[in-house]
């Protein structure tokens, strides 16, 4: 009987770049719009579909996300009418419960093992070795933002439990964001939604570009990157630098590709999600880079941690502390490893001079606005920012701080070959060139594949060509998205 109940989740992990999702999405889309005159039924169906989607990873994860959703939903109802001092206690109770769950599953073994190693003890007896639920960092932050916003009075608590649970678990952005706010996403589940053909077409177009970045660019880079990072000692400096550059491209194509697919998928259901990437590698300094990279996370930390700490309107000493707190927390959010903490500290050091000199907001426009090409000065600044980010990505990608140090030192080591050249690597060059050109042309648009040729036959030729390329490069083994581990 138990097996019969849970066999619906025996479908296997439902990656966006899998045939399972290719079957799942059309069915959900058709049923959803058949219920178009009954938006509450749509919400119930979206919730069911989202739980099926998530349960395919591991049905036990459903208990966790349901508990997180229930805690935040109940806290909103209790916080709103309560006196301020009681509301504050209720808020902290919900924050501690949800962050406690996150800590237990994601960080307990890391800190327990680190402390045991520091004290020279055997950690084996205290480690829990719990399976990390996919996407727990994303949906925990999304649920917490609702409680905080209710406490602040920025949103009204909802009594529609189905709408709220759908808000927390909406399947396109459930496992890797964008991290949505209740003020923008929840109201969309509390009203009728109408199908928009232009919006759906734009969503499909954005999904297509996301699949190109993931399947062709990111997965193509991964073959080379994994080989070099797997044994960097046998390669020369040029090869190590090339692998680091390609990992910068890989993580961008992988994560921004996921975001494009998620945002495009949501458009098919009449739901608008926030933009998560805005051509970050065209940034002119590291502050602009962080305004354009993983926007939903950086703004979450800004609004719920940095500003409450005083933001930039504090003494220089306190400002230094605030910046380090934000970046160290951001690094730790990504995973339980000292390399993520070191990566956060590295970015804090890069960001610090800009914020102390009050130059961290000088680039808020689009680079080369109104021009086809950047100036030499702009190009040099973009190259420098990309180079600094690439050093950080080496730390991020490394299994240990010692590995990262040796890898970076290896950049200055001699070697005969530039890279292990082969057909599987050379095909990356036109794909990378296409991605850079398309995203440069669309750098001031709503997304990186928004601007299209006016002639229909040219557009459709491009669409068919992209579909053919994506299908040809689809790995026989499904390649998971990098950020699923966070």
| pLDDT grade for 4, boundaries at 50, 70 and 90 | very low
| pLDDT grade for 292, boundaries at 50, 70 and 90 | very high
Name the packing angle between helices 237-268 and 219-230 (round to 10°): 140
pLDDT of residue 5: 43
pLDDT at 477 over 80: no
pLDDT of residue 290: 95
Between 79-93, 111-125, 350-364, 434-448, the lowest mean confidence (pLDDT) is in: 111-125
| pLDDT grade for 130, boundaries at 50, 70 and 90 | confident
pLDDT of residue 448: 84
Mean pLDDT in residue range 78-97: 94
Task: Report residue 244 as tokens.
Answer: 């680091």
- Integer CA distances (angstroms), 11 to 96, 333, 398, in order: 34, 30, 33
Regarding predicted confidence, which is higher, 209 or 463?
A: 209
pLDDT at 253 over 70: yes
Peptide bond just before 271 cis, omega within 30 deg:
no
**pLDDT tens-digit series, residues 88-113:** 999 999 999 999 999 999 998 888 88
Check: CB of residue 228 under 8 Å from CB of residue 132: no
pLDDT at 39 over 50: yes
Mean pLDDT in residue range 260-271: 96
Mean pLDDT over each residue of the chain, to the nearest integer: 89
Between 4-8, 209-213, 356-360, the lowest mean confidence (pLDDT) is in: 4-8
pTM over 0.85: yes
pLDDT at 406 over 60: yes
pLDDT at 259 over 60: yes
Among all chains, which residue has been given the structure tokens 């065209």?
A: 282
CB environment 314-326: b (16+ within 10 A), e (fewer): eeeeebeebbbbb
Task: Report residue 299 as tokens.
Answer: 């703004």
pLDDT of residue 424: 59
- In sequence order, the 6+-apart residues with CB closer than 8 A to the CB of 44 are 162
- Provide the percentage of residues in the chain whose pLDDT is more than 70: 93
- Integer CA distances (angstroms), 314 to 10, 287, 321, 348, 426, in order: 54, 19, 10, 17, 51
pLDDT at 416 over 70: no
| pLDDT grade for 160, boundaries at 50, 70 and 90 | very high
Q: Which own/partner pairs from 150-157 qualify as long-range (CB within 8 Å, at least 24 positions apart)?
A: 150/75, 150/76, 150/79, 150/80, 150/182, 151/79, 151/87, 151/88, 151/91, 154/183, 155/182, 155/183, 155/186, 156/80, 157/76, 157/77, 157/79, 157/80
Task: Report residue 217 as tokens.
Answer: 């660019």
- Provide the percentage of residues in the chain whose pLDDT is more than 90: 65
d(CA 9, CA 136): 19
Q: What positions carry a catalytic annotation?
A: 334
Regarding predicted confidence, which is higher, 476 or 272?
A: 272
**pLDDT tens-digit series, residues 330-375:** 999 998 899 999 999 999 999 999 999 888 889 888 898 889 999 9
pLDDT at 1 over 50: no
pLDDT of residue 40: 93
For residue 433, report the phi and psi dihedrals to the nearest 5 degrees.
-60, -40
């Amino acid at each position: 009987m138990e097996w019969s109940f849970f066999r619906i989740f025996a479908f296997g992990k439902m990656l966006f770049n899998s045939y399972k999702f290719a079957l799942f999405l059309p069915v959900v889309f058709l049923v959803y719009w058949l219920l178009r005159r009954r938006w509450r039924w749509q919400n119930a169906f979206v919730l069911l579909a989202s739980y099926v989607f998530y349960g395919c990873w591991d049905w036990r994860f459903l208990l966790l996300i349901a508990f997180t959703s229930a805690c935040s939903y109940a806290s909103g109802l209790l916080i709103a009418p309560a006196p301020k001092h009681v509301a504050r206690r209720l808020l902290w109770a919900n924050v501690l419960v949800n962050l406690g769950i996150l800590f237990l599953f994601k960080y307990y073994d890391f800190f327990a093992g680190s402390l045991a190693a520091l004290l020279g003890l055997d950690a084996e007896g205290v480690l829990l070795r719990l399976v990390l639920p996919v996407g727990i960092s994303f949906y925990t932050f999304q649920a917490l933002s609702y409680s905080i916003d209710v406490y602040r009075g920025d949103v009204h608590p909802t009594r529609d439990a189905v709408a709220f649970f759908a808000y927390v678990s909406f399947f396109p952005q459930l496992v890797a964001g964008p991290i949505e706010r209740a003020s923008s996403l929840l109201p969309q589940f509390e009203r009728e939604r109408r199908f928009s053909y232009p919006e759906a077409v734009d969503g499909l177009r954005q999904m297509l570009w996301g699949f190109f970045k993931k399947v062709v660019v990111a997965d193509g880079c991964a073959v080379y990157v994994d080989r070099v990072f797997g044994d960097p000692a046998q390669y020369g400096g040029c090869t190590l630098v090339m692998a680091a550059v390609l990992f910068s491209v890989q993580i961008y194509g992988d994560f921004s590709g996921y975001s494009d697919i998620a945002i495009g998928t949501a458009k098919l259901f009449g739901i608008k999600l926030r933009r998560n990437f805005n051509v970050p590698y065209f940034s002119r300094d590291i502050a602009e880079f962080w305004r354009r990279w993983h926007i939903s996370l950086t703004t979450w930390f800004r609004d719920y941690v940095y500003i409450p700490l005083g933001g930039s309107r504090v003494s220089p000493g306190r400002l230094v502390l605030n910046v380090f707190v934000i970046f160290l927390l951001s690094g730790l959010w990504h995973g339980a490893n000292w390399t993520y903490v070191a990566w956060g500290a590295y970015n804090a050091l890069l960001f610090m001079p800009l914020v102390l000199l009050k130059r961290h907001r000088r680039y808020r426009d689009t680079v080369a606005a109104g021009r086809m090409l950047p100036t030499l000065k702009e190009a040099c600044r973009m190259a420098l920012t990309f180079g600094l980010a690439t050093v950080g990505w080496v730390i991020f990608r490394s299994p240990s701080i010692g590995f990262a140090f040796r890898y970076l030192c290896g950049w200055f080591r001699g070697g005969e070959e530039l890279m292990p050249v082969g057909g599987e690597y050379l095909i990356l060059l036109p794909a990378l060139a296409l991605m850079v050109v398309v995203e440069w042309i669309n750098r001031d648009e709503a997304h990186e594949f928004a601007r299209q040729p006016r002639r229909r036959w040219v557009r459709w030729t491009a669409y068919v060509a992209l579909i053919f390329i994506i299908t040809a490069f689809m790995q026989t083994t499904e390649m998971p998205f990098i950020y699923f581990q966070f």
